[in-house]
C-alpha cells in the first residue's frame, strides 16, 4: 500500500503558488489554460507553469519543469497541479504522460494529491510502479 504523508507548510505554499499561477492565467474564452502547476527544487526554488492546450498541447507539469530545467535546476522535491479559476482549487493527479516524464527526470520527487478532500503527498514511484525503461 502506498504511503501517504501530510503536507508541511512548504507543501501548502506550493499548492497556493500553483493556484495563483492559474488564477492569473485562466482562459475563460478558449479554455487553453485551465491547469496550473508548481514544482519545487530541493534547494527550495519554485517554478510555475500553466497548461497550453491545442493540437499539440502540453500539461502544466511539463511547462513548470521545463522552466526549472531552463533555469539550471536538476533536482526536485515536490510537484503539484491544480485546476480552476478560483480557490479552493482542485488538485489534479498527474496524467500518465506526466507521471512517466517526471519519473524520467526526477524519480524521487513527491506528488501532492487530493484524496477525499484532503491534500496529501505520495512518492512518485508509488504513482508509477512500472515505468517504461
pLDDT higher than threshold 90 for residue 26: yes
Which residue among 61, 73, 86, 104 is the active-site one? 61
pLDDT higher than threshold 90 for residue 54: no
The reply to whether 61 belongs to the active site is yes
Quick one: average pLDDT of 68-97?
96
Q: What is the pLDDT of residues 98-124, one digit of tens each?
A: 999 999 999 999 999 999 999 999 999
What is the dihedral angle through the alpha carbons of 126, 72, 64, 16, rounded to the nearest 10 degrees? 90
Q: Position of cell 512518485?
A: 124
Indicate yes or no: pTM above 0.75: yes
Quick one: average pLDDT of 44-55?
93
Closest-CA residue to 21 (of 43, 58, 59, 51): 51
Helix, strand, coil percentages (3-state) for the chain, rounded to 5, are 30, 30, 40
Taking the alpha carbons of 103, 104, 105, 108 in that order, is the dihedral positive or negative?
Answer: positive
pLDDT higher than threshold 70 for residue 10: yes
Task: Extract the C-alpha cell encoding 21.
Answer: 499561477
Question: Alpha helix locations (H) across 1-122?
Answer: 9-25, 60-70, 96-105
Quick one: average pLDDT of 15-40?
93
Domain boundaries, the chain: 5-127
Region of residue 116 (phi > 0: left; psi between -120 and 50: alpha; otherwise: beta): left
Four-way CATH pick for 5-127: 3.90.550.10, 3.30.70.20, 3.40.50.1220, 3.40.140.10: 3.40.140.10
Region of residue 68 (phi > 0: left; psi between -120 and 50: alpha; otherwise: beta): alpha
Amino acid at each position: 500500500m502506498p504511503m501517504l504523508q501530510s503536507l508541511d507548510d512548504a507543501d501548502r505554499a506550493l499548492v497556493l503558488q500553483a493556484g495563483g499561477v492559474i488564477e492569473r492565467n485562466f482562459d475563460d474564452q478558449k479554455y487553453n489554460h485551465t491547469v496550473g502547476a508548481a514544482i519545487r527544487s530541493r534547494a527550495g526554488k519554485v517554478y510555475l507553469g500553466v497548461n497550453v492546450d491545442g493540437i499539440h498541447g502540453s500539461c502544466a507539469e511539463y511547462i513548470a519543469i521545463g522552466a526549472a530545467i531552463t533555469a539550471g535546476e536538476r533536482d526536485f522535491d515536490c510537484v503539484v497541479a491544480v485546476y480552476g479559476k478560483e480557490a479552493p482549487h482542485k488538485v489534479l493527479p498527474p496524467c500518465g504522460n506526466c507521471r512517466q516524464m517526471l519519473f524520467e527526470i526526477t524519480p524521487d520527487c513527491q506528488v501532492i494529491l487530493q484524496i477525499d478532500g484532503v491534500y496529501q503527498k505520495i512518492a512518485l514511484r508509488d504513482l508509477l510502479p512500472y515505468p517504461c525503461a
